[in-house]
Amino acid sequence: MSLRIGTRGSKLALAQTRKVTADLDRRGIETETVIITTPGDATTGVPLHAIGGQGVFVRALDDAILEGRIDAAVHSMKDIPAARPDGLSTCAVLRRDSPADFLVHSCDIEEVRVVGTSSTRRRAQLLRSPLPIEVRDLRGNVDTRLKKLERGEYDAIVLAEAGMQRLGLDLPGTRLLPQWYVPSPNQGAIAVVCRDDPGCIEHFEPLDHFQTRNEVEIERAVMEEVGGGCFTPMGIFCESGFLIAEVLALDGSRWERIEDAGNRLDEAREVGQKLRMIARDLIEAARVSLGVSE
């Protein structure tokens, strides 16, 4: 009997799922891919925070696991919200690909004036940069975003470098260094979620990468302590025991940033608590400005 692996239907989601199923196939485990449409895929005309945040890409797949329609689901780890339903397990976190963002543009970077992104974090970090730019909202899958760039609606758009690599895209532009353009927590990592059942979990354990799991758990601990929701412009990145966490004003005019050791969860939680305290006004200002209820 084959394992039913659920996924969203975008090219990127399918590429990530093929990475998981290929590894399982090499281990002699048969798989079947099941495509599930999520509210985040069906509603593309509004910002993510207005339809429930990153969790809108995950809930439909969670429900499918709990209802027994699939055995497991493949996600971009950054899409998985902090609060998780009972009965599920993040059974594997694959070795992390690039955590960086990539600014796609064919003109000289000095000529970039209009940049497309729907992320409040990316918006704030770009507005903080010395580039004299305007940032406009941009939703949709990678193909949709690239078509809008080609039509001249934007001079540049922001993509996750890991997504480009998984899709085999070699695009012109500029890699944004994660030390300054601090990524979203868990960016670049793929996670597998399954039923909280040892018999199911054991199929995926060989895919789990210890260092990546430790680093993304550090980042998630900071995220949980900071709170603020998906609307808050926040970057958190841990690599080789070094942690960077920041919260920005929506317009990039101000930010609070902590750089510290990132080896243990208790250290990460202390960083998150401190950052929440010093960035409280930035989090509240973002909530009010975007009309997000408490």
**Terminal CA-CA length for the chain:** 46
Work out the number of other CB atoms within 10 angstroms of the CB of residue 143: 12
Dump strand ranges (E) for the chain.
3-7, 31-35, 72-76, 88-93, 101-104, 114-116, 134-136, 156-160, 173-176, 190-195, 234-239, 242-248, 255-261
DSSP, res 43: -
Strand, helix or coil for residue 72: strand
Decide if 240 contacts 121 (C-beta within 8 A).
Answer: no
Q: For 114, list phi and psi in degrees, rounded to 5.
A: -120, 120
Q: For 53, list phi and psi in degrees, rounded to 5.
A: 80, -170
Decide if 259 contacts 180 (C-beta within 8 A).
Answer: no
Q: What are the residues facing 237 on neighbouring strands?
A: 244
For the question of residue 260 being annotated catalytic, the response is no
d(CA 167, CA 171): 11
d(CA 168, CA 170): 7
**Could you say which of 23, 25, 41, 79 is catalytic?**
79
Non-local CB neighbours of 172 within 8 Å, separated by 6+ positions:
104, 105, 106
Q: What are the catalytic residues?
A: 79
